[in-house]
């Protein structure tokens, strides 16, 4: 049965927990003091659409049905994944969703009774959303409402970053909006949940694994809530908890737990909810194992026996014992899924490791066979090129994270600029040295130039081979590590740019040396037998 008459979720897109703890937000602070508060930790990649889907489905990015990066609404395929809205619709509860129009590509329209979407984020959009939300809440016809405010995310990612005055002022404005929402609600009968999808780094980026990105605030106030400050929870825990508040089953792909510590439930209702969650998790684990292992994969029989024993124990009025058995069953099913996932990932890595090592060995052997007397110069020039490249990367204020690049379309141009400067630095060293040693053989000049290019490419190739071993070349059945994916993307772009530069650069190096040698010969032929050298250093 429902524990509350209504659940209203206010989604403050782009509010990280670090900012929440720093800012003075009186309404949220009051709601947290009289209600429950915690910190949500999300699973990377921490882009908006996948994070929002995890919030309403309880599923990890592997299973929540959307791409790991944000897409335009027109490019989205409606995710056929169970959610709290689907569960509410099936139970004939009234649902409403207000926010960005890309929600239309995330939730089937038939699961929503009322909608209001804006196609552009910002202050005007949020005011329009609030103007629709307040009468909707006052009518008190809805059972599950999600209200997304967009301006924090807009300010952080497109205007002033997450460290400027505009971000603070926007958070303060939205705090006032939440005050209006909380005042119009009857929190003796309904429940208000305030949370976020992701935070931002100071420059405004997100998507990576930084704490300021992956941790968001959670504030719950109203009926059915135990007040207090609670420890870290998972983003996947929200959907099962909301479902429990409404007396619904958890979504079928949920992988989180029910936040019983925050819910004012008696032990009997807790146990019934936990048994239902254990049943859901066993069904999910069975399907998951079949999909990633094969049709022959089965769960241990003891797992099903434990679930039956939990139900029997409950019927015998051993409530605490039944709860512990059901909890153990759910955790064991989770472990079975995690173990199967890890085993398949490791099995797929071994062939890639062999291929990567062989490619590196062959490349190095070819360079070693073609080395010349200037091998030391080539090594030093390569080190200079790589050091200059990463020094420029740091000087531009970037971090080694996908969050550092909010506009991925600009990434190739940034890489190209740094790579050109870095290659020119290394190439200048090669040029000057060859001039000083008076190298005159065209073949040796080209060989040295290309040796420098190929060794630099080899060094740039190492992170890509490592990422290939870890993740493969394309996303298949699971979402790989975003930190590894960052190196995979950036190394691939670096290699493409470096290959173009490396093919061209040896020729100017050779031409400059030939020209200098020609000048030297002319000066030598015209120079008196005695006297001062008119151009020191070219001799």
Neighbouring residues of 278: CB distance < 8 A, sequence distance ≥ 6: 307, 310, 326, 327, 329, 330, 333
pLDDT band at 159 (very low <50, low <70, confident <90, very high): confident
SS3 of residue 119 by DSSP? coil
Q: Nearest-CA neighbor of 207 among 33, 406, 56, 505?
A: 406
pLDDT at 529: 57
CA distance 4 to 189: 6
pLDDT digits (tens, 9 = 90+) for 204-249: 999 999 999 999 999 999 999 999 999 999 999 999 999 999 999 9
**What pTM, to 2 d.p., does this model score?**
0.92
**Least confident span in 132-136, 138-142, 528-532:** 528-532
Question: 302-305, long-range: CB within 8 Å, 24+ apart, which pairs?
Answer: 303/329, 303/332, 303/333, 303/336
Domains, in order of start, for the chain: 7-262 (3.40.720.10), 266-346 (no CATH), 370-526 (no CATH)
pLDDT band at 372 (very low <50, low <70, confident <90, very high): confident
Q: Mean pLDDT over all residues of the chain?
A: 93
| pLDDT tens digit sequence for 442-470 | 889 999 999 999 999 999 999 999 999 99
The pLDDT-based confidence of 131 (bands split at 50, 70, 90) is very high
């Amino acid at each position: 049965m429902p524990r509350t008459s209504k659940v209203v979720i206010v989604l403050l897109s782009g509010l990280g927990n670090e900012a929440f703890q720093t800012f003075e937000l009186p309404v949220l602070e009051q709601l947290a003091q009289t209600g429950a508060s915690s910190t949500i930790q999300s699973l990377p990649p921490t882009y908006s659409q996948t994070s929002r889907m995890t919030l309403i489905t309880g599923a990890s990015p592997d299973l929540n049905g959307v791409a790991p990066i944000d897409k335009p609404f027109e490019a989205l395929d409606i995710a056929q994944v169970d959610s709290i809205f689907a569960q509410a619709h099936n139970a004939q509860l009234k649902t409403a969703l207000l926010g960005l129009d890309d929600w239309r590509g995330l939730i089937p329209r038939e699961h929503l009774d009322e909608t209001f979407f804006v196609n552009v984020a910002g202050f005007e959009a949020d005011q329009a959303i609030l103007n629709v939300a307040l009468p909707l809440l006052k009518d008190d016809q809805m059972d599950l409402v999600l209200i997304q405010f967009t301006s924090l995310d807009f300010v952080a990612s497109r205007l002033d970053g997450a460290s400027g005055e505009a971000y603070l002022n926007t958070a303060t404005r939205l705090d006032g909006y939440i005050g209006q929402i909380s005042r119009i609600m009857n929190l003796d009968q309904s429940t208000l949940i305030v949370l976020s999808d992701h935070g931002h780094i100071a420059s405004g980026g997100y998507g990576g694994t930084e704490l300021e990105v992956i941790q968001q605030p959670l504030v719950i106030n109203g009926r059915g809530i135990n007040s207090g400050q609670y420890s870290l929870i998972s983003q996947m825990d929200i959907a099962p908890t909301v479902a429990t508040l409404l007396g619904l089953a958890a979504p079928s792909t949920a992988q989180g737990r029910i936040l019983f510590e925050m819910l004012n439930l008696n032990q009997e209702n807790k146990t019934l909810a936990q048994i239902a969650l254990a049943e859901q998790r066993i069904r999910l684990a069975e399907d998951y194992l079949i999909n990633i292992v094969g049709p022959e994969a089965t769960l241990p029989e003891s797992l099903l026996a434990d679930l039956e024993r939990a139900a029997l124990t409950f019927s015998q009025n051993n409530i605490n014992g039944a709860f512990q058995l059901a909890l153990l069953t759910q955790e064991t099913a989770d472990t079975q899924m995690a173990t199967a996932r890890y085993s398949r990932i490791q099995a797929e890595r071994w062939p890639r490791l062999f291929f990567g090592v062989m490619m590196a060995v062959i490349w190095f052997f070819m360079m070693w066979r073609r080395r010349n007397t200037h091998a030391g110069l080539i090594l030093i020039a390569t080190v200079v090129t790589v050091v200059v490249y990463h020094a420029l990367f740091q000087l531009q204020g970037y971090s080694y994270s996908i969050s550092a690049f909010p506009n991925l379309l600009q990434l190739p141009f940034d890489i190209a600029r740094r790579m050109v400067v870095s290659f020119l630095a290394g190439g200048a060293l090669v040029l000057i040295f060859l001039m000083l040693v008076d190298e005159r053989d065209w073949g040796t000049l080209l060989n040295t130039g290309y040796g420098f290019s190929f060794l630099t490419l080899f060094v740039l190739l190492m992170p890509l081979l490592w990422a290939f071993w870890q993740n493969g070349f394309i996303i298949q059945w699971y979402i790989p590590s975003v930190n590894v994916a960052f190196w995979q993307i950036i190394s691939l772009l670096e290699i493409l740019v470096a290959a173009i530069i490396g093919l061209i650069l040896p020729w100017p190096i050779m031409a400059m040396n030939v020209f200098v040698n020609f000048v030297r010969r002319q000066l030598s032929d015209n120079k008196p037998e005695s006297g001062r050298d008119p151009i020191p250093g070219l001799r």
